[in-house]
Amino acid sequence: MRDANPQTIYLKDYAVPDYLIHHVELNFTLDDENTRVVSRLTMIRNPASQTGDAALVLAGENLGLISVVLNDDNELTEQDYLQTQDSLIIHEVPQHRSFVLTIENTINPKANTALEGLYLSGSMLCTQCEAEGFRKITYFLDRPDVMAKFTTTLVGDKDRYPVLLSNGNKIAQGELADNRHWVTWEDPFNKPCYLFALVAGQLDCIEDSFITLSGRNISLQIFVEKHDLDKCAHAMQSLKNAMRWDEQVYGREYDLDLYMIVAVSHFNMGAMENKGLNVFNTKFVLARPDTATDSDYERIEGVIAHEYFHNWTGNRITCRDWFQLSLKEGFTVFRDQEFTGDRTSKAVNRIENVNMLRTRQFAEDAGPMAHPVRPDAYMEVNNFYTLTVYEKGAEVVRMIHTLLGAEGFRKGSDLYFERHDGQAVTCDDFVNAMEAANAVDLSQFRRWYAQAGTPVLTVQQSYNSSAQTLALTINQHCPPTPGQAVKEPLHIPVTVGLINKDGSIAPCNVQGRKTDEIVLQLTQAEQTFTFTDLKQQPVVSILRGFSAPVKLVMERSLEELAFLLSYDSDTFNRWEAGQQLAGQVIAGLIADIQSGQAMQINPMIVTAFKQVMAQSWDDLSYFSLLLGLPSETYLAEQMQVVDVVAIHKAREFVVLTLAQQLQTQFKTLYLECHKDESGVFDAGAIGRRRIKNMCLAYLGRLEQPDIQQWSQQQFDTAKNMTDQMAALAVVANGTHPAKQECLSRFYQQWQAEALVIDKWFALQASSHNPDTFETVQALMQHPAFDLKNPNRVRALIGAFSQANPLHFHAANGQGYQFLADQIIALNTLNPQVASRMLSALTSWRRYDEGRQALMKAQLERIMTTDAISKDVYEVASKSLA
């Protein structure tokens, strides 16, 4: 397919483009298998270019070239240009004046299973151009620092493509012979080609409007297939909420008169922020109470907001090059996290985000693909849409927010927008604006962008009763990562609070300033901070709100953790204390298993849970998080050599013990909260569903007839997907007599709803049941399974390999072989998805010798794949290096 030995691209080699494009006039004659593209580019030599060579090199892949014409009348011949596999090199173009280059080519959307460029999703034609998809549409300067105005005309059959959409405003339309019609769109804003989009097909739309703060009326449209029209209301409301929030919190208004969202069923990622025409995975648009869970509702609002926020952080100000991806992604994720926190529960949202960061991003940072938030090299840019760039990138922005405070941060973002509107810039430009607006020095802080790996903070405390002081000594250390053996100390905000033994707040008095909480600024490898005026030794609550993306090492007794679980006023640390307590208890059981002893559970965990359950809670979602145990994946992250079987057994033992000993409490709580509130999405109803389903999950482990009846009844009568899915999970993950019947009834009920069927696949693939592997193999043959649909692949293959450690890591290696087979098949169909599926194999060094050998053998087999894609090659080869 591509290079067997792909080239590495380095940040240090960045050079400005040799040519610039002012205006792009595109004309598409649409056809599912043979679309004709005419691209008329108004160009000029870049005065800032340093290159002596005048050749014009345009990127292009899989294109059928028809003609190249210079200045409208000079048709170039094969002597004038060179066509390679991935470029068109025109030997000579005018150097001192602008010129027009018109290129005509064909493409085949139907054959495009990689879903980059122009492709068919169901019966809809749509595009995905980030990062380098535009070169699969036509020859172009496909790099984000080339920004141009786009005018796009779409021509197509009226019945086949009744709706024709592109970026910006519709400026003209008309009819043609042979039942065809055309529409011209014009985007008045300069943009890089990765923000180009077109959509054509049989679409229906819901419409609404939004009045901006300055009184402009924006028309809002969501396009979907006809049968999905009744699932768009939540997405529309979410969009309006996001628009208002960005005005209120960042002072940013929308800039076009029209905002369009299209939902497509085949999409490699979550959604795409194309200017004025977002293209979304249906998963992040469609919701009706009976088809989508509460967390789907929340994620939809978050992703809609994320794409909307990109209009300022990504589109108006974009990235100079793809190494700067976190400039737009880190900042935009930070913005969507803050939005979701404001819309739902700040406490819950922070915990969920940190949970994801610590289980998945920390693993990435500790593995062979570890890279800085601003990577300095890549083979395939699509491999760098990572948790590090997105989630750790957001943490870096959050730390700036913590260091500067909300007001200082807003001053910095205002200056950033003022300085760089309309430009393609770097992460440094962002930090420069934050610095300049606040007169602070963030030079050491910049290392967060350049250094990979998760820093470890080791904390020691010593209380001096005669001096009434507490000294906190914090040491920072960051383990080496590939290509970065030595790390420099980082500038780390560490938020601390002190608590007296009676639960009251002890003031933090450092250098004469007395506050309830303090942000310590750690800048050295080791530093001691002294708190004064402490008559008694307080309990330290450190890294409040998870103020930095680090691992914390601090000796804590179970008693101290139980104290913090009861008294810490910081909602994050309170939850964290419970997690650590459970983690220590589970670690004790793992040790029992590994030394061949009977498991002996420390009763403190039961007492601690009982206490939590005895309190009354306003935020029931937060309450349910306090009752959750650390996941198997998170527990695995904590072990030197991961023992999947022991982790599973130990954790299950704790679940069962809690279910047995707190059975009465779980039952009472379940019955109290089990109400019919279908379609009610306020925090109260969401919280009640969440806590009651948590209770049901515990109780389900008892395998008792009374509980089996409860779960069956909840399944039978549920009117919302949250309750139906939670009940099905309990029924299907055990020995419930109606297991098969419920699974098949669920399928029958929902076979017309692709997103619900994805849940059905994922639930079975992540089950602990002993026959899960056979089930997964059988599901691969199910008529509803389709290797060409990324959502399906993620639901079945992704859930099995990433959310089912017990079965994926079966000691005989069958899980590894299965995954490798699928990756090899996906390599040809969709390299991006193939490479993402590979992540389950990259951490092979973390397992025992037997599993290491089996995983490594599969990685080696993948490396021998014929026509291996750049995407898969980069991840597999780096994993083996």
Per-residue mark of binding to ligand 0A1, 292-321 (x: CB under 6 A): --------------xx--------------
# chain residues binding ligand 0A1, by CB under 6 A:
13
Shorter beta-carbon distance to ligand 0A1: residue 272 or 561: 272
Shorter beta-carbon distance to ligand 0A1: residue 90 or 285: 285
Structure token pair of residue 205: 């739309």
**What, of Zn ion, ligand 0A1, none, does residue 380 touch, CB below 5 to 8 Å by kind?**
none
C-alpha pair distances (Å), 375 with each of 371, 382, 434, 650: 6, 13, 21, 38
**What, of ligand 0A1, Zn ion, none, does residue 102 touch, CB below 5 to 8 Å by kind?**
none
Considering only 165, 269, 797, 819, the residue that binds ligand 0A1 (CB under 6 A) is 269
Task: Check residue 273 for interaction with ligand 0A1 (CB under 6 A).
Answer: yes
Residue 108: is it exposed, middle or buried by C-beta count within 10 angstroms (0-12/13-18/19+)?
A: middle
Considering only 90, 272, 642, 728, the residue that binds ligand 0A1 (CB under 6 A) is 272
Structure token pair of residue 168: 């910006």
Q: Are 129 and 195 in contact (CB under 8 A)?
A: yes
Considering only 385, 448, 546, 760, the residue that binds ligand 0A1 (CB under 6 A) is 385
Cis peptide upstream of residue 131 (ω within 30 degrees of 0): yes
Closest CA to 200 of 130, 112, 115, 120: 120
CB under 6 A: which stretch of 267-275, 698-706, 730-738, 800-808 binds ligand 0A1? 267-275
Distance in Å, CB of 272 to ligand 0A1, minimum: 4
Closest CA to 292 of 233, 245, 367: 233
Considering only 27, 35, 121, 128, the residue that binds ligand 0A1 (CB under 6 A) is 128
Shorter beta-carbon distance to ligand 0A1: residue 272 or 658: 272
Distance in Å, CB of 310 to Zn ion, minimum: 6
Distance in Å, CB of 128 to ligand 0A1, minimum: 5
Cα torsion 609, 611, 612, 618 to 10°: value is 160
Distance in Å, CB of 194 to ligand 0A1, minimum: 8
**What, of ligand 0A1, Zn ion, none, does residue 341 touch, CB below 5 to 8 Å by kind?**
none
824 to 863, contacts with ligand 0A1 by CB under 6 A?
none
Residues 6+ apart with CB under 8 A from 164: 30, 154, 156, 181, 182, 183, 198, 199, 200
716 to 775, contacts with Zn ion by CB under 5 A?
none
CB under 6 A: which stretch of 173-181, 265-273, 350-358, 761-769 binds ligand 0A1? 265-273
Distance in Å, CB of 118 to ligand 0A1, minimum: 13
Give the pairing type, strands 217-224 and 258-264. parallel
802 to 821, contacts with ligand 0A1 by CB under 6 A?
none
CB under 5 A: which stretch of 227-235, 321-329, 647-655, 763-771 binds Zn ion? 321-329
Distance in Å, CB of 270 to Zn ion, minimum: 8
Measured on CA atoms in the order 553, 555, 558, 561, is the torsion positive or negative?
negative
Per-residue mark of binding to ligand 0A1, 87-126 (x: CB under 6 A): ----------------------------------------
Continuous segment of H or E residues that includes residue 153: strand 148-157
Rounded to 5 degrees, φ, ψ at 277 are -145, 80
Distance in Å, CB of 329 to Zn ion, minimum: 5
Structure token pair of residue 154: 């779409």
Closest CA to 529 of 491, 475, 474: 474
Q: Are 220 and 240 in contact (CB under 8 A)?
A: yes
Considering only 6, 17, 94, 270, the residue that binds ligand 0A1 (CB under 6 A) is 270
> Which residue blocks in 185-343 are alpha helix, DSSP H?
233-250, 294-309, 325-343
Task: Check residue 268 for interaction with ligand 0A1 (CB under 6 A).
Answer: yes
Task: Check residue 329 for interaction with ligand 0A1 (CB under 6 A).
Answer: yes
Beta bridge partners of 393: none
427 to 466, contacts with ligand 0A1 by CB under 6 A?
none
CB under 5 A: which stretch of 261-269, 331-339, 680-688, 721-729 binds Zn ion? 331-339
CB under 5 A: which stretch of 327-335, 656-664, 786-794, 862-870 binds Zn ion? 327-335
Q: Are 121 and 266 in contact (CB under 8 A)?
A: yes
> Which residue blocks in 288-441 are alpha helix, DSSP H?
294-309, 325-343, 346-356, 362-365, 387, 393-420, 427-438
**N-term to C-term CA, the chain:** 23
* 3-state SS, residue 132: coil
Task: Check residue 380 for interaction with ligand 0A1 (CB under 6 A).
Answer: no
Shorter beta-carbon distance to ligand 0A1: residue 270 or 588: 270
CA angle 524, 526, 532 (to 5 degrees): 105
Considering only 120, 260, 271, 685, the residue that binds ligand 0A1 (CB under 6 A) is 271
**What, of ligand 0A1, Zn ion, none, does residue 874 touch, CB below 5 to 8 Å by kind?**
none
Residue 703 annotated as catalytic: no
Structure token pair of residue 740: 């098969």
Shorter beta-carbon distance to Zn ion: residue 272 or 539: 272
Distance in Å, CB of 270 to ligand 0A1, minimum: 6
CB under 6 A: which stretch of 14-22, 266-274, 586-594, 841-849 binds ligand 0A1? 266-274
Distance in Å, CB of 25 to Zn ion, minimum: 28
Beta bridge partners of 227: none
Spatial distance between the Cα atoms of 833 and 523, rounded to a whole number of angstroms: 40
Considering only 25, 31, 130, 336, the residue that binds ligand 0A1 (CB under 6 A) is 130
CB under 5 A: which stretch of 242-250, 252-260, 329-337, 752-760 binds Zn ion? 329-337
**What, of Zn ion, ligand 0A1, none, does residue 272 touch, CB below 5 to 8 Å by kind?**
ligand 0A1
Spatial distance between the Cα atoms of 447 and 444, rounded to a whole number of angstroms: 6
Task: Check residue 235 for interaction with ligand 0A1 (CB under 6 A).
Answer: no
The one catalytic residue in 307, 338, 391, 576 is 307
Rounded to 5 degrees, φ, ψ at 169 are -110, 145
**294-309 helix and 683-700 helix, angle to the nearest 10 degrees:** 130
Shorter beta-carbon distance to Zn ion: residue 317 or 498: 317
Measured on CA atoms in the order 845, 849, 851, 854, is the torsion positive or negative?
positive
Considering only 127, 153, 345, 382, the residue that binds ligand 0A1 (CB under 6 A) is 382
Residue 533 exposure: Cα atoms within 13 Å on the Cβ side: 10
Residues 6+ apart with CB under 8 A from 475: 457, 458, 459, 460, 525, 526
Q: Given the rule CB under 5 A, which residues bind Zn ion? A: 329, 332
Q: Which residues are near ligand 0A1 by CB under 6 A?
A: 128, 130, 268-273, 306-307, 329, 382, 385
Catalytic residue ranges: 307
